[in-house]
Structure 1
């Protein structure tokens, strides 16, 4: 059964790649990125061999405990790492869960996350290759730790499958992910500041954190070599016993819920339900084709988890910069914090660039109704401005209040609003060039096959680079305002004027391109994900 499921997984992956050259290229790029990360981690683990055993113990325990916790968190919040071999598909076959489990376990590790975890986990052996007892301890702990990562993921998602499939949880998950990103960014900044000011205190914090992580379920397996290095044989044996018991318990939990899923497959909640009246939203825009597109997409912004994720993703970076510079001040930190809203504006074009892909097969309504490409582009810009315009204004005001850099208000506002308009113009044109199959409305935007592969990468790169290049005059005014103050006031009209011109050109040219490419757009967004 193990060989059958592994072959099935490989066949499914191969067939999915045959359907799209872009997906193949995207997979290659993803594997190259994963390989780069793995090489960096293994290089770091190798470098630890020339440090003290105390530092090696603390770093390995913390790093691998975080890896294990990451598998659980991202599996719960992102709902599944890889369901290519979906257990529910075996519900009509005469097989039991205990027959499927070994094959699902091995096939689940086939893929970039699984292979990368195995290779990174082997870094524990590299780091502790100092003596026979340490090597033996690492060799024993390494497979148990990797198995714990995967089993935590599967047991967690299986146990909470019904709850995870609800829209309420998906909405909550995006908020939690955004907060997690903010906390991680701020935490990294604080740790870096502490290390620079007082390395000895930083070392104590690291040791205390490693001790706590080593006695947590996430670090039981990974801390066995660390305990051996300190001569704590009883502690090492106890951790090993706990790690094995945890793996066995997770295997049993996964098997229990897998058996339930084979007899009662969980169906994800659909979008059926009563039709709600739009109310204020329907009256917000003029009764024109562009206004109709704006109303429809704004409803997506209100109800679709994919758009919630977009708001959270674009807002994380400026919030991290603002908070981290305020809690860990340094010379000029208030100026850096005051410029944080510009980062949100710089990324805004990607929202419009990917909007057409989120429509999926619903694009056919534009095609058959004869909606002009320019109206499509303008409507999406209107709804995006309705969401992010007030957010950008609020962020500018909050940064001024927190930093007290009111002298920078005209410059920051001019550059932020100008860059936002430029980004929307660039995104309107770029979004007409590349599209990709996205998860359906209401689905998890992080599920497998949702990344868009190479078209998504090209769209993001072109939007970001194009916005940055066209905003160079504004950047020059902003830099010059630190020496000639009146240039900051000039940035406001120049930013809005330049942004308006780029926006009009982007909508017009992107619309013309769409009018010629509607069939290709339909084909691109209709391709089924693996």
Structure 2
């Protein structure tokens, strides 16, 4: 059964790659990125071999505890990250959980995340090659640690399958991912402040944190080699026993919930609530084709978890930058005030991916004779309706937190032109590349749904071109710190460049859509 399930997963992956050359390119880029991370981490683990036992213990225990907790957290928040062998697909077959669990375990590790975890775990052998005892303890810890990562992920998602399958939980999860991203940056900054730039303080914080982590279920097994290296064999045995009991408990729990999943497969609760016509959203825009597109896409911004996740994702950078500078005693008011400009630069990526998020419903645009320019204008209107109020709030908040109200003109001179340029570039770039996105209500992070190379190219080109076109304005604003009136000149020139960019994006992007509606529909319908 193990060989069958592994072969099935590889076959499904091969067939998916055959459908599009972009999937192959995306897979290769993803593997190269993962390989770079693995090489970097393993090199760090090898370097720890020549440090003290205490430092090696603190770093490895803390890092691998975070890795184990990450498997559980991402599996719960990013439910369905690998749905290739979804257990519910076996519900009609006469199989029990205990028959397919070993195969699901091995096939689950046959992927970029599983392979990377195994390779990084093997790097511990280099860190603890300090004698026969630590090496033997590491050899025993690695398979148990990897199994703990996987079983925590599967047992957690199986236990909370009903909640995870609800739309409300998915909405919460996407916001939770953004909050976790913000928290990581903020906590790192706070830790730096507590250390006060002194190595002794940093080591004390690291040792205390690692000590706590080693007594959590996520860190039991990873603290075993450290205990062995210190000669604390009784403590190592206790943690090893606890880790083994944890693996057994997770295996039994996974089997229990998997049996239920095989006999009571869950149906996706995607929610199909009615959208009332004639509401406030529909009255925001004129009764025109572009207004209809704007109203429809604004409904998406309000109701679709994919768009909610997008808003949260765009806010991560500016919020982290502002908060870290505020909590840092040596924070720069200039960075706090200009942090909202980062959001202006990123907004164009939202317009660039909008066609892909429409999915097969986009055929209504092509079949109804909607002009491409009207599609582009409508999406611009709805995006501005969502992000402009957020930008105003962030700008006022940034100026208030920094106390640098005198910077209002340079901030406005950068933000408004930058958002116009970004929207204009994104409006055109969105007609160059499209990809099959997850359907509405589905998990936008599920495997194979990242868009691969087209999504990467769309984001990169939008950001790079927007930055290039905004260079004159940014240069004048920087110069205005010495010659104040140049900020007004930068604002005027920036508004002119931004207006031209938006106009060209609508005209040229619309014309390209008029010529390529069939190709666009084919690109977003590959799923």
TM-score under structure 1 normalisation? 0.98
Question: Which residue of structure 1 lines up, in the alignment, with residue 525 of structure 2?
Answer: 526
Secondary structure in 2 aligned to 1:222? helix
Cα distance in 2, alignment partners of residues 350 and 278 from structure 1: 30
Structure-to-structure mapping, 1:337-352, within 5 angstroms: 337-352=336-351
Question: Which residue of structure 1 lines up, in the alignment, with residue 387 of structure 2?
Answer: 388
Which stretch of structure 1 is more off in the superposition, 140-149 or 271-280?
271-280
Structure-to-structure mapping, 1:162-201, within 5 angstroms: 162-195=162-195, 197-201=197-201
Structure-to-structure mapping, 1:464-479, within 5 angstroms: 464-479=463-478
Is 1:224–2:224 an aligned residue pair? Answer: yes
Cα distance in 2, alignment partners of residues 490 and 518 from structure 1: 41
Cα distance in 2, alignment partners of residues 38 and 441 from structure 1: 34
Cα distance in 1, alignment partners of residues 443 and 499 from structure 2: 34
1:275 shift after superposition: 4.0
1:196 shift after superposition: 5.9
Equivalent residues of 1:410, 1:491 under 8 A apart: no
Indicate the RMSD between aligned Cα atoms, in angstroms.
1.2
Equivalent residues of 1:297, 1:380 under 8 A apart: yes
How far does the alpha carbon of each residue in 1:428-485 deviate from its partner, in whole angstroms, 9 at most, with x for none?
Answer: 0000000000001121111122200010011011101110111101110121112112
Equivalent residues of 2:83, 2:446 under 8 A apart: no
Cα distance in 1, alignment partners of residues 342 and 193 from structure 2: 22
Which stretch of structure 1 is more off in the superposition, 207-216 or 265-274?
265-274
Question: Which residue of structure 2 lines up, in the alignment, with residue 128 of structure 1?
Answer: 128
Equivalent residues of 2:80, 2:443 under 8 A apart: no
Cα distance in 2, alignment partners of residues 523 and 327 from structure 1: 49
Question: Which residue of structure 1 lines up, in the alignment, with residue 303 of structure 2?
Answer: 303
Cα distance in 1, alignment partners of residues 118 and 208 from structure 2: 27
Equivalent residues of 1:338, 1:399 under 8 A apart: yes
Question: Which residue of structure 2 lines up, in the alignment, with residue 423 of structure 1?
Answer: 422
1:308 shift after superposition: 0.5
Question: CA 1:388–1:273 in structure 2 vs 1: closer, same or farther (change >3 Å)?
Answer: closer
1:17 shift after superposition: 0.6
1:194 shift after superposition: 4.5
Structure-to-structure mapping, 1:262-273, within 5 angstroms: 262-273=262-273
Cα distance in 1, alignment partners of residues 389 and 462 from structure 2: 22
Secondary structure in 2 aligned to 1:433? coil
Structure-to-structure mapping, 1:14-163, within 5 angstroms: 14-163=14-163
Question: Which residue of structure 2 lines up, in the alignment, with residue 237 of structure 1?
Answer: 237
Which stretch of structure 1 is more off in the superposition, 182-191 or 29-38?
182-191
TM-score under structure 2 normalisation? 0.98
Which stretch of structure 1 is more off in the superposition, 16-25 or 224-233?
224-233
Equivalent residues of 1:48, 1:56 under 8 A apart: yes
Equivalent residues of 2:337, 2:411 under 8 A apart: yes
Is 1:410–2:409 an aligned residue pair? Answer: yes
Q: Which runs of 4+ in 1 moved over 6 A?
A: none
Which stretch of structure 1 is more off in the superposition, 90-99 or 481-490?
481-490
Which stretch of structure 1 is more off in the superposition, 86-95 or 259-268?
86-95
Q: Provide structure 1 residue ranges, at least 5 long, that are not aligned to the other structure.
A: none
Cα distance in 2, alignment partners of residues 261 and 145 from structure 1: 26
1:402 shift after superposition: 0.4
Cα distance in 2, alignment partners of residues 508 and 304 from structure 1: 28
Secondary structure in 2 aligned to 1:208? helix
Question: Which residue of structure 1 lines up, in the alignment, with residue 207 of structure 2?
Answer: 207
1:113 shift after superposition: 0.5
1:5 shift after superposition: 0.6
Secondary structure in 2 aligned to 1:446? coil
Question: Which residue of structure 2 lines up, in the alignment, with residue 378 of structure 1?
Answer: 377
1:190 shift after superposition: 2.8
Which stretch of structure 1 is more off in the superposition, 108-117 or 440-449?
440-449
Question: CA 1:162–1:278 in structure 2 vs 1: closer, same or farther (change >3 Å)?
Answer: farther
Question: Which residue of structure 1 lines up, in the alignment, with residue 367 of structure 2?
Answer: 368
Cα distance in 1, alignment partners of residues 274 and 487 from structure 2: 51
How far does the alpha carbon of each residue in 1:334-361 deviate from its partner, in whole angstroms, 9 at most, with x for none?
Answer: 1111110111111110000000000000
How far does the alpha carbon of each residue in 1:167-207 deviate from its partner, in whole angstroms, 9 at most, with x for none?
Answer: 11111112211111111011222334455622111111100
How far does the alpha carbon of each residue in 1:194-234 deviate from its partner, in whole angstroms, 9 at most, with x for none?
Answer: 55622111111100000000000000111101111222211
Cα distance in 1, alignment partners of residues 501 and 270 from structure 2: 40
Equivalent residues of 2:417, 2:495 under 8 A apart: yes
1:289 shift after superposition: 0.7
Which stretch of structure 1 is more off in the superposition, 172-181 or 354-363?
172-181
1:498 shift after superposition: 2.1
Secondary structure in 2 aligned to 1:432? coil
Question: Which residue of structure 1 lines up, in the alignment, with residue 482 of structure 2?
Answer: 483
Cα distance in 2, alignment partners of residues 499 and 191 from structure 1: 41
Q: Provide structure 2 residue ranges, at least 5 long, that are not aligned to the other structure.
A: none
Question: CA 1:307–1:278 in structure 2 vs 1: closer, same or farther (change >3 Å)?
Answer: farther
1:278 shift after superposition: 5.3
Question: CA 1:67–1:231 in structure 2 vs 1: closer, same or farther (change >3 Å)?
Answer: same
How far does the alpha carbon of each residue in 1:462-517 deviate from its partner, in whole angstroms, 9 at most, with x for none?
Answer: 10111011110111012111211222233333333321221111111110111111
Equivalent residues of 2:472, 2:490 under 8 A apart: no
Equivalent residues of 1:414, 1:494 under 8 A apart: no
Aligned length: 527
Secondary structure in 2 aligned to 1:416? helix
1:81 shift after superposition: 2.9
Equivalent residues of 1:193, 1:328 under 8 A apart: yes
Cα distance in 2, alignment partners of residues 426 and 499 from structure 1: 9
